[in-house]
Structure 1
Amino acid sequence: MKKRIFLLLCLFISVKMYAQDRLITNIGARKALSLNGTWQYIVDPYETGFYDYRYKELDEKNPDAYWNTDIPKNKTEKKEHGYIDKYSLQVPGDWNHQKPEFLYYEGTVWYRKTFDFHPADGATKYYLYFGAVNYRADVYLNGKKLGMHIGGFTPFNFAIPTSLLKEKGNYLVVKVDNKRGADEVPTLNTDWWNYGGITRDVKLVEVPPTFIQDYVIQLKKPEPGKAPSASPEVEGWVKLNNVKAGELINISIPELKFKKQIAATGQITKVSFNLPKLQLWSPEHPKLYQVSVSAGVDKIEDKIGFRTIEAFGKQVLLNGKPVFMRGICIHGEIPLDVRRAVGPDDAKQLLNQAHELGCNMVRLAHYPHDEAMTRMADSLGILVWSEIPVYWTINFASPAVLDKAKAQLKEMITRDHNRASIIIWSVGNETPISPTRTDFMHKLIIRAKELDQTRMISAALEVNYGSMKDMNIVDDPLGAFVDLVAFNEYLGWYGGLPDQCRKTNWSTPYNKPLFISETGGGAKGGFHADSLTRYSEEYQEWYFKEQVAMLKRMPDSFVGITPWVLNDFRSPKRNNPVYQEGWNRKGLYDDKGTKKKAFYIMQAWYKEIENKFSH
């Protein structure tokens, strides 16, 4: 038994690490066969297709395994599973919104897709890529297991032996399990709905034998407090898969008439060069350049913006100049359709709502959003806080949980490290203070800085309202390690009434910028009463009026805010049968897309701030 557990643990570790270390970036620029569309499914709450009746994992030869064909060899063979068109789901997409019986379902669903394959001429490699699957994915092709991935919001891919692919009738099966777990990231308790399914794109990616797996092409971080020079330096690297000695790497930016050729020095080759006459990326001028990277026969293109960002003293400097972040928190959800957000159209809808509010920033809570969001933010000029779901009561004492959090952190950063819009990597939200927790979070911060030294690292800290005084000091020990001291405060919703804000001020003992990562109160859209009535639009309006008055007294170190939240969103924790009905009602837009009265309070203040900074 111990030997079996050890072997399973080794398999888990090897598969997990494989998915991390082999991640291919910029999938949109690759030659690929989309496997999106209609997939057949089997609902399997007892995981009958994965375990036998002794609860042992079925092997690949077992005909009862749901990753094996459902077609009997002859009329005497017993088959107790099958895939038919009557039971089908659309991919990408969560299963919860697609069928009424899935509304509250958490468990295992088997997805099957058949496809034909026409191999390219010459020696070529193939990878099966998933944008995200929530939460655990076991992937099988033509009866063979390709691997397993844990984590519901980050991409992964598996190499496919060419010999495994067939010209006709390939049989792809994915076991998707979204059950929450005490030792998972996120853990059992969250304040959002746990949408299950293959929620982002699936592609069969074709690459040559030697190919560009990943790259970083970003401005070098300047000297503290300094703006980029007239000819700023780019610093980064190119990672080649199956690199050959002396392989030539070419980087070009046609608009700048720039070309550079470098000989590969190994799997990862460092690059450094200057770019004269460069236009810097900013919210006011979101300039993107077409950048081409090639090696051998492989060539990819990307749209990249160039800017610098840093916490300097008590300010945040964008391109060497102070910036005030007029933000909003966003969940990756389209409330009107009650579904997980995916793709460019959803990204544009959400970011346009933020833009109408007057935002120059969004906090993508509480997990990495679809890649379309960060790319759209690049093009629209919206600053981004991107976060992993280390949320509330993670098992901070578990090394395995820390490994899972680190894996998600790496996959988030790897996917988006060329996005100019992202200025903050966040390692968590509202984690309770203890030495064990602080050590856990500190290790994540160290890892984030190892992966990316050009951006700020932060976390949304929690405020204790037990002893509110005229001065509230944000003194979480994690503040010593973050670049930006961010905290969530709900004074007037969870702590007294909104007029409590009139005698409250905020500070921190850390000589760092101070940022409010959440504040808000709930209101049922269309419910009107006096301002003392909870869940009325008037109460929420009063809340934000008092908040804005308090914010105007904030110290000079106050650099921005992301109120909670853009839209109402689904949450099983919110069960008032009249005003909530399974929804968190703190949105400035309701679940039908209608602006609440509080929207206009924040919009007016953001306009005031924008005018102040523009002058």
Structure 2
Amino acid sequence: MHQEWSLRGVWQCLPDKENILENGIENKIVYAPEIHPWKEIVVPSHWQKAGFEQHQGAMWYRRTFLAPNKQENLGYHLHFGGVDYFSEVWLNGMYLGAHEGDFDPFAFSVTGFLRFGKENELIVKVVSAIDKKPERKEIAKGGLYHWDCLPVRQEGLSDCPEVPSAASAHYPNPLLNPGGIWQDVTLVAKPVVHIERLRITPHLRDEYTKANIYVDIEVRNETGEEQDIELRVKIAPHNFPKEGREDIAQVSATFLRPGSLNHTTRLTIQNPALWWSWDLGHPHLYTATVEVKMDGTIIDSSSEVFGIREITRDEKWQFRLNGERIFIKGNNYLSDQFLSLMTASQYEQDIQMMLDAYMNMTRLFAHAEKPEFYRLCDEKGIMIFQDLPFQWGYRSDGEFITRAADVARRYVEMLYNHPSVVLWCCHSESRLHDYNKLDNVLMETVKSIDVTRPIHKNSVLIDRGELPAFFATWEEFAKYVPNHLSVNWVGWYWGKITDAEFYNPMFITEYGTQSLPDEESLKKFIVEEKLWPLDMEAWRMRGFQNNIYTKMMGEYPTTLGELVERTQEYQVQFYKEHTEALRRKKYNNVNGIMQFHFVNTWPAIDWAIVDYYRRPKKAYYAVVHAFAPLQLSFAGHVERLENALRITMEAWVVNDYRRELEGHEISYRLLASDGTVIEERAVLAPLITPDSSRCFDQAVLDLPLTEEVYRIEGDLRDKEGNIIARNTKILFPRINEAEVETAAHVNAGL
């Protein structure tokens, strides 16, 4: 019913760095474009990946195309899948309108402006410039523009991730702002009465045995006259067999005045097949199809895939999916700074690596991915912690806040039907000047659209190194932070890896350390003469935090291979110690952990556990082991007494499965540094309850004052004697809690 003509291919373009080619009513670039020296560019693409790598500012695009012959009862629309960032459009010299935002599709009605059966000229102006005040930004692009995992300029950092002052050289100042027509452009012919949008809201009732499905239908009438229509809504299984289920359908008659009509219908499904994350069940999906009839003839139809599920989050960040509590094991993800480069197959690769690492949630860091990513998460059963595109500081005036609210509204509407999206986070690492102004408006905007998902105001509130106003003393803040801090950089920006046992946060949105990619990957983006001996300026331009490295790992080794090994092993140790410690506290205040971050978004040296070329680092496999659904885990420490060493050991089992396990046994041993077995223990685990974390054995040994380096190793065996889990643990000296360095000690705000 819809006909499409793609306009992708070779266009013409003209860089306009200073944004001066447009000149009011004498806009020659539109009305006399042939006088300009146009160049070729491929659409869709970001211009930096299409031959204009260094360009920032305005870029003009031009394309001529042959329009089809006009057909009766059809309206013609120019559709843009995505333009980054500000855009204005002219067709045959007529101004169609403007759009802000890099993430969402938009369209213009062009029936009155097309030259049917003839050549037409399309001109698009795109503006994507470097923001002059990164702490008071004027564009809502979030992590795709301003993030310390992107190309930034900053000097060495002393303690904290950044100093929030645009005047400070320590602050990450963006070096690159992607720009261009990065998604398809199409000419679309639609019936003059057609469906504009479907919004589907499932509501579960009666202990999940019944679901009301509310289908909001926006219908557009371009005939200029009132029309009587019939709407038929049908719901059918999408990715599972019907198994005797009948399609649910409803027909309603209504009328359309000229313009748009919003019509809501309600259908009820008995015993619905629910959408689950992969670790709880099958991600059942349905298809809702809406047909528009006039005079008994179907004139238009539209379909949306959706899932039926209920997601809740309480004040302690305990998530429940369809009433089942779930411990979150996830990551932070941004696939590529230039999303035009991503393909469905690349998304499939990334998502499969997440599944292989037992992750049930991904946080899309202050941006939206391509539609293919959301479709795959819907189908694979991965939950999405969805940030809005706001990262760090923004202009705090009414004009920008009004624009930001419009961006937030379109953002939520675009992703509303995806069951995988389970939470909205309005702002990432908000600044104080935004917290009670911009963030309040974003929060209320999202609430007005979506009442079905939890909404979080911001991931972290960073202050200027001063005590946040809602704490009376730094001591009070220091007590609060270990329990509630939502970023856990213990062992990187503050503290030590061995402090892991002292942290008991409700939910961690970020934790990790930097490490180098392997030598093969490094050689792809750092030239040999700067790679080794290490050229600090070149390395820092790729994100390397040299001062944090020396603070945590000491002097540099003599070879590049040793440096790669050292940083990757440090990252492995970090994820092992922190992840296992936090999982032992499962539901004991800790309800979720999101490693930071999953994959490099450009060829860089940063916190990713998979490099830009999709080569897993050692830490990826450490996370795989630490996130395993059944884990044997050890805790303990060494304490020096007056005449002895006191060794404390604990053996734990963490079970994420929804089934109990019977007849298991833990065998573990304490070893000295030379491998000598000091103590062997075996303990029964007769019943491992579902979705649990439990200590099955504790032991305290007093040993002579000989050495202080000990480790534990052990196995978990099933009732047939098969090893189903194994692990090791280095025992560190006991730490005095009063000496543990927290975020408060380095003045990192919450």
Q: For 1:247, what is the secondary structure of its paired residue?
A: strand
Distance 1:568 1:503 in 2: 30
Residue-by-residue CA offset, 1:411-464 (whole Å, 9 max, x unaligned): 111212111111112211001235x52232122111101111111112312467
Point out where structure 2 has 5 or more consecutive residues left out of the alignment: 132-136, 151-175, 238-245, 294-298, 467-473, 523-548, 555-562, 631-653, 660-750
Q: How does 1:361-380 map to 2 (within 5 A)?
A: 361-380=361-380
Per the alignment, do residues 543 and 470 of structure 1 end up closer, same or farther by CA in structure 2, a change over 3 Å counting? farther
Q: Is the 8 A contact 2:92 2:122 kept in 1?
A: yes
Per the alignment, do residues 264 and 457 of structure 1 end up closer, same or farther by CA in structure 2, a change over 3 Å counting? farther
Q: How does 1:62-461 map to 2 (within 5 A)?
A: 62=27, 64-65=28-29, 67-71=30-34, 79=35, 81-83=36-38, 87-99=39-51, 102-119=52-69, 121-181=71-131, 182-186=137-141, 189-191=146-148, 192=150, 193-220=176-203, 227-228=207-208, 230-242=209-221, 244=226, 246-255=228-237, 256-264=246-254, 267-284=261-278, 285-296=282-293, 297-312=299-314, 314=316, 315-333=318-336, 340-395=340-395, 397-434=396-433, 437-458=435-456, 459-461=458-460
Q: For 2:313, what is the secondary structure of its paired residue?
A: strand
Q: Is the 8 A contact 2:44 2:184 kept in 1?
A: yes
Please state how far the C-alpha of 1:472 moved relative to its aligned partner: 5.1
Structure 1 residue aligned with 2:629: 608
Q: Is the 8 A contact 2:46 2:180 kept in 1?
A: yes
Distance 2:570 2:59 in 1: 42
Q: Is the 8 A contact 2:504 2:590 kept in 1?
A: no
Please state how far the C-alpha of 1:359 moved relative to its aligned partner: 1.6
Q: For 2:272, what is the secondary structure of its paired residue?
A: coil
Structure 2 residue aligned with 1:559: 591
1:495 paired to 2:494: yes
Structure 2 residue aligned with 1:598: 619
Distance 1:544 1:516 in 2: 13
Distance 2:272 2:19 in 1: 56
1:517 paired to 2:519: no
Per the alignment, do residues 374 and 367 of structure 1 end up closer, same or farther by CA in structure 2, a change over 3 Å counting? same
Distance 2:507 2:113 in 1: 54
Per the alignment, do residues 516 and 201 of structure 1 end up closer, same or farther by CA in structure 2, a change over 3 Å counting? farther
Distance 2:255 2:481 in 1: 47
Please state how far the C-alpha of 1:305 moved relative to its aligned partner: 1.9
Structure 2 residue aligned with 1:526: 518
Bigger CA drift: 490-499 or 397-406? 490-499
Q: Is the 8 A contact 2:197 2:218 kept in 1?
A: yes
Per the alignment, do residues 120 and 303 of structure 1 end up closer, same or farther by CA in structure 2, a change over 3 Å counting? farther
Q: Is the 8 A contact 1:69 1:143 kept in 2?
A: no
Q: Which amino acid aligns with 1:374?
A: Y
Q: Is the 8 A contact 1:342 1:372 kept in 2?
A: no
Distance 2:21 2:589 in 1: 57
TM-score for the superposition, normalised by structure 2: 0.65
Structure 2 residue aligned with 1:473: 480
Please state how far the C-alpha of 1:299 moved relative to its aligned partner: 0.5
Q: Is the 8 A contact 1:472 1:504 kept in 2?
A: no
Residue-by-residue CA offset, 1:545-604 (whole Å, 9 max, x unaligned): 23214413365343322211111223xxxxxxxxxxx72521111122111111112111
Please state how far the C-alpha of 1:341 moved relative to its aligned partner: 4.2
Q: Is the 8 A contact 1:470 1:505 kept in 2?
A: no
Please state how far the C-alpha of 1:524 moved relative to its aligned partner: 0.9
Q: Is the 8 A contact 1:189 1:393 kept in 2?
A: no
Per the alignment, do residues 339 and 450 of structure 1 end up closer, same or farther by CA in structure 2, a change over 3 Å counting? closer
Please state how far the C-alpha of 1:537 moved relative to its aligned partner: 0.8
Distance 1:119 1:413 in 2: 37
Percent identity over the alignment is 23
Q: Is the 8 A contact 2:363 2:385 kept in 1?
A: yes
Distance 2:43 2:444 in 1: 36
Paired residue total: 530
Bigger CA drift: 241-250 or 127-136? 241-250
Bigger CA drift: 197-206 or 182-191? 182-191
Q: Is the 8 A contact 1:327 1:363 kept in 2?
A: yes
Per the alignment, do residues 413 and 388 of structure 1 end up closer, same or farther by CA in structure 2, a change over 3 Å counting? same
Distance 1:31 1:606 in 2: 48
Per the alignment, do residues 425 and 341 of structure 1 end up closer, same or farther by CA in structure 2, a change over 3 Å counting? farther
Per the alignment, do residues 129 and 353 of structure 1 end up closer, same or farther by CA in structure 2, a change over 3 Å counting? farther
Please state how far the C-alpha of 1:274 moved relative to its aligned partner: 0.6
Distance 1:323 1:247 in 2: 45
Structure 2 residue aligned with 1:576: none
TM-score for the superposition, normalised by structure 1: 0.79
Q: Is the 8 A contact 1:462 1:487 kept in 2?
A: no
Distance 1:82 1:214 in 2: 41
Please state how far the C-alpha of 1:539 moved relative to its aligned partner: 1.8
Per the alignment, do residues 502 and 231 of structure 1 end up closer, same or farther by CA in structure 2, a change over 3 Å counting? closer
Per the alignment, do residues 324 and 113 of structure 1 end up closer, same or farther by CA in structure 2, a change over 3 Å counting? farther
Per the alignment, do residues 82 and 606 of structure 1 end up closer, same or farther by CA in structure 2, a change over 3 Å counting? same
Per the alignment, do residues 108 and 546 of structure 1 end up closer, same or farther by CA in structure 2, a change over 3 Å counting? same
Distance 1:250 1:310 in 2: 32
Structure 2 residue aligned with 1:75: none
Per the alignment, do residues 417 and 486 of structure 1 end up closer, same or farther by CA in structure 2, a change over 3 Å counting? farther
Please state how far the C-alpha of 1:137 moved relative to its aligned partner: 0.8
Higher strand share: 2
Distance 2:233 2:322 in 1: 24
Distance 1:69 1:468 in 2: 68
Distance 1:295 1:499 in 2: 64
Bigger CA drift: 533-542 or 423-432? 533-542
Please state how far the C-alpha of 1:398 moved relative to its aligned partner: 1.0
Distance 2:254 2:482 in 1: 47
Q: Which amino acid aligns with 2:480?
A: I
Per the alignment, do residues 208 and 339 of structure 1 end up closer, same or farther by CA in structure 2, a change over 3 Å counting? closer
Structure 1 residue aligned with 2:578: 547
Distance 1:194 1:497 in 2: 35
- Bigger CA radius of gyration: 2
Distance 1:288 1:173 in 2: 41
Q: For 2:10, what is the secondary structure of its paired residue?
A: strand
Q: For 2:45, what is the secondary structure of its paired residue?
A: coil
Q: Which amino acid aligns with 2:429?
A: E
Per the alignment, do residues 488 and 167 of structure 1 end up closer, same or farther by CA in structure 2, a change over 3 Å counting? farther
Report runs of 4+ in structure 1 exceeding 6 Å deviation: 463-466, 468-471, 527-531
